[in-house]
Structure 1
Amino acid sequence: MEPEEAGTEVDLPRAERAMREFLTAVGVDLAAQGMEETPARAAQLYADLFAGLHEGTGELWTDVMTEETDGLIAVRSISFHSICEHHLLPFFGTAHIVYRPHAGRVAGFGVFTRLVDRMARRPQIQERLTSDIAGEIERGLGAEGVLVVVDAQQLCMTMRGARAHGTRTTTSACRGVFREDKVMELQAWQLLGEWNDGRENISLP
């Protein structure tokens, strides 16, 4: 599904019935004290975790501003949580974005936090999430260059398999002039690092 598309609404009664059947099948006693409402609670939880399946992203770009700037803009440390599509376990962390505006087209910093949240609220893998965020900024803003870096902890790595506690994964996606011009790409990476000096949202002339 393309990032800007929205899906159908959630059928909560059906989800609750399916959750009840699933929990019973794996041996959970739903008659035990405290478990009676678990299927309904779990169905509502996953409806919220997957809300991004039913929300488009097009309206996020309806309030774009035009400013006299051609510098790089960074929005750092955007917290997110998502669900890995392989085992339905959470992964969570932070996303960092750098973009070079085209013709001065910029968006408020809150647009990027909403974009990351919306695209994370669907069954995902970290690599696709990173790429989709970059592609959506490139498409929605017409940005000349986009760099997105996502750093996350994957519970499927810590709760199962190798049980690699404390392991983090970092992915990146580079678009436009940042891919074509190595000097500009280096500037974008530097903006995410040592030039930040403690500020989360900054611009570089």
Structure 2
Amino acid sequence: MSPFFKKAISSNNITAKEATDAVRTLLRYIGENPDREGLIDTPDRFCRALLELTEGYSSNPEEILSTTFESQSDEMILLKDIEFTSTCEHHLLNFSGKAHVAYIPSEGKIVGLSKLARIVDTFSQRLQVQERLTQQVAEAIAKHLNPQGVAVVFEGTHSCMCVRGVRKQSAKMVTSTMLGQFRDSAASRNEFMSFITKN
């Protein structure tokens, strides 16, 4: 028996059996036989994969950004090309790409660069739309670090456009959120944009 079956999978008291039974129903819905050899373990695999893809619900942005360091820096700090994978809440299909995150410290407070990547993971590993994902990352950094400004850009390729519907394989969605100095100062905003477009 899979370890997945040994526990309830959520605080809503949904058991693993209920979850896998739902997947079996979906397989029958499309005309498949969930008892055939290739599909016997698929409901279990799907549910375990779904839990992994949505691990962000159990992450706390405040905890991630709580460890800070003293620094005299008041210039932009940028982490670019952060790979992300998320799940579209409209079709439950993957979208993925790169995120670019910058902030301008205030009060001499900086955070480890890995924490910026973890904040991207926290919000991308939930059911999402890219517009909200971009805003949530920026707002979490603004709330917990209180910087002079935050800039976040996400570039994503969406399976819901590539494999169904209009089927545009090369289309890429770009979203941005600029807060504080990055919103108010064209110079800061342009500096950020120039950095993320450089190879």
Same fold (TM over 0.5): yes
CA RMSD of superposed structures (Å): 1.6
Measure, in 1, the Cα distance between the counterparts of 2:188 and 2:54.
36
Structure 1 window deviating more from structure 2 (32-41 vs 14-23): it is 14-23
Are positions 1:137 and 2:144 aligned together? no
- Check conservation: 1:83, 1:89, Cα contact below 8 A: yes
Secondary structure, aligned partner of 2:169? coil
Structure 2 match to 1:114: 118
- Check conservation: 1:97, 1:146, Cα contact below 8 A: yes
Are positions 1:35 and 2:48 aligned together? no
Measure, in 2, the Cα distance between the counterparts of 1:76 and 1:173.
15
From 150, 157, 174, the counterpart of 1:153: 157
- Check conservation: 2:66, 2:144, Cα contact below 8 A: no
Measure, in 1, the Cα distance between the counterparts of 2:88 and 2:179.
24
Question: Unaligned regions of 5+ residues in structure 1, if any?
Answer: 1-6, 199-205
Among the aligned pairs, what percent are the same residue? 31
Paired residue type of 1:57: P
Structure 2 match to 1:163: 167
Paired residue type of 2:158: Q
Measure, in 2, the Cα distance between the counterparts of 1:25 and 1:190.
50
- Check conservation: 1:82, 1:120, Cα contact below 8 A: yes
Q: Which runs of 4+ in 1 moved over 3 A?
A: 7-11
Structure 1 match to 2:130: 126
How high is the TM-score relative to the length of structure 1? 0.87
Measure, in 2, the Cα distance between the counterparts of 1:101 and 1:193.
22
Secondary structure, aligned partner of 2:147? coil
Question: Unaligned regions of 5+ residues in structure 2, if any?
Answer: 1-9
Structure 1 match to 2:4: none
